[in-house]
Amino acid sequence: LKALTPESFPHMRAIVFGGEGFAKTELQKLHKLYGTRATLWNVYGPTECTCICSAYAITERDFEDMGTLAPLGHLANMVKGLVLRPDETHAAEGETGELLLFGSQVAMGYINDAERSAVAFAPCPLPGYANLPCYRTGDLVRRDAKTGYFHFVGRKDNQIKHMGYRI
């Protein structure tokens, strides 16, 4: 970001970022440099789902509250998801819980790691979901009742992501 100027990349139309929360102070700097000519997209999609599961276009309104992360947006049409409370029941809109993702894009498991696969790709306990490929992301999210956007809240474990690496 320090090397970029308003003249950098004059034909750029989009900047797509994802993988971890983008600090709003840095995002705002990027938006000030390019927001008038390029759309900044916050995307979400765990490796285990082999696709971008959601996308959200950043606007000036997103900088009204600098204490939050940009929304993840709505889930893509080919992705199904739900938010589960710790007691494995469906979370209401506005409640925080683990995001479970479903669909043909969900991997079958981790190669040569049956134990880890059994946890991350465990069947969903809710009726109607048991036969769908499921990935338990470990990401805590909440779904905004007003907009329907998913918002990243944190992790249910102590994993962090740094420069794209899971630690």
* DSSP letter (8 states) at residue 59: -
Q: Residue 153's Cα: distance from chain center in Å?
A: 10
List C-alpha distances in Å: 93 to 48, 78, 102, 116. 25, 21, 18, 29
d(CA 153, CA 166): 17
Q: Residue 30, CB half-sphere, CA atoms under 13 Å: how many?
A: 20
Give the tens place of pLDDT for each residue, 72-111: 999 999 999 999 999 999 999 999 999 999 988 999 999 9
User: Is the pTM value of this prediction over 0.75?
Assistant: yes
